[in-house]
């Protein structure tokens, strides 16, 4: 397979938290849905925004496109909810409107007895909540893993569907791998995290359709229960009846405890409103030039100046820029002449070594000074460097700062998501180039054999 270095060499430069669980489940006093979170480093980034600006369906689509892991929290005047994502798929959900849990549903299905559920709870407590419910039931009660997964999927669907009835509120998405710690299990002991996640876009389509069905004229009721059973026997779901039953279950106020008289408002993460559109563009067949231009275009939404460096033969070579203004010379030409050794101490090297976005003061080192000099001579208050990973290796580095301004950088969570998908787009481009080259060689070999036979 061709590497990004090969592609760069041939292309050249670019111009441009459910309410406390019920008492019978012995909740931790005062522990709410907000406490049921992922165990992540405190310095990890998060997306924030208002549901009025970006609907839940669009949020689900963005997280699905990005393939990220983390916890989406929602809060409104109606209460709280959360959805856990693993690699862009939904593996757990909770809603203050849904009182039942996976343990309740297993009891309803007759999959376990009340004594078995009690025994599993006692075991959880005895061993410090080190194990989730599903693992204990599978091992000690011989409950089918597939049955537990199916029950949990139904619970997730219902919890997510209630969240789509929210009209206001705010959300945060904390990026980080989900770890089911004892604290999380203790806070919500009878829930279950899926082994295989659910497609968030499917959940979103169903949620939006339920909201639409609930708004239809009540004078035209859903079909009677008899017809519903007949449709169910044919494998169909009466969406309208389900929507009406769901609304009845959660009540006029959405089933959520009051959280205030006014909907909370938070600042929307920079670039979030255009992230969905840009991610969709990355799914199209693109050349390396086009991909780099998209990176520069997206980063310009939140940062004054950016430079793309490619990794080539042990050096970081300038490839394209946005927002660089020089007193003398052409910025594009100057950037393309920049060349920094991978081992040379600089903010770019820090990003390569850590393989993540690095945000810091641009301290004085020979190669940081080199960057400052070649970009106009003004040292920024703060700068960042972000790697683009392709096939597990750093293929490009995006450098950025807010010169000529004196302000620090805003949250870069949306950029982190976008650059992750940029790596996927580059890998797809290289695979396509590889396939085209292979097809060309095959065709040429066939012509040569034909010529030999003709001779």
Q: Among the listed ranges 116-120, 214-218, 327-331, which one has the minimum average pLDDT value?
A: 214-218
Domains and CATH numbers, the chain: 17-250 (no CATH), 274-437 (3.30.450.40)
DSSP 13-49: ------SPPPGGG-PPTT--GGGS-----TT--EEEE
Report the pLDDT value the prediction gives residue 27, as an integer from 0 to 100.
30
Report the pLDDT value the prediction gives residue 186, as an integer from 0 to 100.
65
- Least Cα distance to 105 among 139, 84, 134 occurs for 134
Task: Match 């010169």 to its residue by tokens.
Answer: 403
Report the pLDDT value the prediction gives residue 244, as an integer from 0 to 100.
58
35-44, 60-69, 268-277, 294-303: range with highest mean pLDDT: 294-303
- Least Cα distance to 417 among 300, 266, 276, 296 occurs for 276
pLDDT at 26 over 60: no
Report the pLDDT value the prediction gives residue 320, as an integer from 0 to 100.
94
DSSP letter at 198 equals B
Report the pLDDT value the prediction gives residue 228, as an integer from 0 to 100.
40
How far CA 287 is from CA of 307, 342, 432, in Å, comes to 18, 25, 10
Calculate the CA dihedral of residues 42, 185, 23, 110 and round it to 10 degrees: 150
Query: What are the two backbone dihedrals, phi and then psi, of residue 330, each rounded to the nearest 5 degrees?
Result: -100, 125
Strand ranges of the sheet holding 339-341, from the earlier edge strand across to the other edge: 339-341, 315-322, 305-312, 393-401, 383-390, 358-360
Q: Which residues contact 432 (CB under 8 A, 6 or more apart)?
A: 285
pLDDT at 291 over 50: yes
Q: Which residues contact 84 (CB under 8 A, 6 or more apart)?
A: 38, 70, 71, 72, 90, 91, 92, 93, 178, 193
Cis ω for the linkage preceding 114 (within 30 of 0): no
CB 319 within 8 A of CB 310: yes
Q: Which residues contact 411 (CB under 8 A, 6 or more apart)?
A: 45, 46, 48, 269, 270
Report the pLDDT value the prediction gives residue 15, as an integer from 0 to 100.
38
Report the pLDDT value the prediction gives residue 168, as an integer from 0 to 100.
81
- Give me the residues paired with residue 174 across strands: 46, 71
**For residues 369 and 440, what is the distance between their CA atoms, to the nearest angstrom?**
46
- Least Cα distance to 165 among 206, 199, 225 occurs for 206
**Per-residue confidence at 35, pLDDT binned at 50, 70, 90?**
very low
CB 390 within 8 A of CB 248: no
Query: Average pLDDT for residues 60-75, to the nearest whole number?
Result: 86
Report the pLDDT value the prediction gives residue 255, as an integer from 0 to 100.
40
The 10s digit of each residue's pLDDT in 391-444 is 889 999 999 999 998 888 988 888 988 998 899 889 988 888 766 655 655 566
**Per-residue confidence at 358, pLDDT binned at 50, 70, 90?**
very high
How far CA 131 is from CA of 36, 123, 402, in Å, comes to 15, 9, 47
pLDDT at 279 over 80: yes
The 10s digit of each residue's pLDDT in 119-178 is 888 887 887 877 777 788 888 888 888 888 888 898 899 899 989 988 788 898 888 887
* Beta-sheet pairing, 393-401 with 383-390: antiparallel
The 10s digit of each residue's pLDDT in 309-355 is 999 889 999 999 999 999 888 999 999 999 999 988 999 999 999 98
* Beta-sheet pairing, 339-341 with 315-322: antiparallel
How far CA 195 is from CA of 87, 175, 198, 204, 282, in Å, comes to 12, 19, 10, 20, 29
Report the pLDDT value the prediction gives residue 23, as an integer from 0 to 100.
31
Mean pLDDT, the chain, whole residue set: 77
Q: In the structure encoding, which two tokens stand for residue 23, read together?
A: 């008492």
Percent of the chain having pLDDT more than 90? 27
DSSP letter at 260 equals -
Give the 3-state secondary structure of residue 332. Answer: helix
pLDDT at 376 over 50: yes
Give the 3-state secondary structure of residue 233. Answer: helix
Report the pLDDT value the prediction gives residue 231, as an integer from 0 to 100.
41
**For residues 56 and 210, what is the distance between their CA atoms, to the nearest angstrom?**
13
- Least Cα distance to 84 among 10, 152, 23 occurs for 152
Report the pLDDT value the prediction gives residue 165, as an integer from 0 to 100.
86
Report the pLDDT value the prediction gives residue 394, as an integer from 0 to 100.
93
Percent of the chain having pLDDT more than 70? 72
């Amino acid at each position: 397979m061709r590497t990004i270095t090969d592609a760069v060499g041939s292309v050249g430069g670019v111009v441009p938290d459910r309410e406390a669980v019920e008492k019978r489940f012995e909740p931790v006093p005062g522990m709410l849905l907000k406490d049921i979170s992922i165990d992540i480093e405190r310095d990890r980034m998060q997306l924030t925004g208002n549901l009025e600006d970006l609907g839940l369906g669009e949020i689900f689509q963005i997280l699905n496109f990005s393939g990220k892991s983390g916890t989406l929290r929602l809060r409104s005047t109606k209460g709280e909810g959360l959805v856990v994502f693993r690699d862009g798929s939904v593996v757990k959900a909770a809603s203050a409107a849904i009182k039942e849990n996976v343990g309740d549903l297993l009891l309803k299905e007759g999959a376990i007895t009340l004594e078995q559920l009690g025994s599993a709870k006692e075991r959880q407590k005895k061993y410090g909540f080190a194990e989730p419910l599903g693992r204990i039931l599978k091992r000690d009660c011989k409950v089918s893993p597939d049955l537990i997964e199916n029950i949990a999927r139904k619970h997730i669907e219902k919890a997510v569907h209630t969240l789509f009835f929210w009209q206001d509120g705010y959300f945060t998405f904390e990026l980080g791998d989900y770890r089911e710690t004892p604290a999380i299990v203790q806070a919500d002991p009878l829930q279950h995290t899926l082994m295989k996640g659910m497609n968030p876009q499917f959940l979103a389509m169903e949620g939006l359709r339920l909201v639409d069905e609930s708004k239809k004229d009540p004078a035209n009721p859903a079909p009677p229960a008899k017809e519903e059973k007949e449709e169910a026997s044919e494998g169909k779901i009466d969406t309208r009846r389900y929507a009406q039953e769901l609304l009845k279950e959660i009540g006029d106020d959405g089933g959520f405890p009051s959280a205030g008289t006014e909907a909370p408002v938070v600042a929307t993460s920079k670039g979030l409103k255009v992230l969905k559109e840009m991610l969709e563009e990355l799914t199209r067949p693109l050349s390396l030039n086009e991909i780099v231009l998209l990176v520069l275009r997206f980063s310009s939404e939140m940062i004054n100046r950016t430079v793309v460096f490619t990794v080539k033969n042990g050096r970081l070579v300038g490839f394209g820029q946005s927002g660089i203004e020089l007193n003398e010379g052409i910025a594009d030409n100057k950037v393309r002449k920049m060349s920094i050794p991978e081992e040379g101490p600089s903010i770019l090297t820090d990003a390569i070594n850590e393989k993540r976005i690095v945000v810091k003061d641009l301290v004085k080192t020979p190669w940081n000074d080199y960057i400052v000099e070649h970009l106009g001579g003004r040292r920024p208050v703060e700068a960042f460097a972000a790697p683009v990973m392709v096939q597990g290796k750093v293929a490009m580095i995006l450098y950025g700062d807010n010169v000529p301004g004196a302000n620090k950088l805003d949250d870069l969570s949306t950029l982190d998501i976008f650059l992750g998908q940029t790596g996927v787009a580059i890998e797809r481009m290289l695979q396509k180039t590889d396939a085209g080259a292979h097809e060309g060689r095959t065709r040429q070999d066939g012509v040569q054999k034909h010529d030999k036979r003709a001779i």
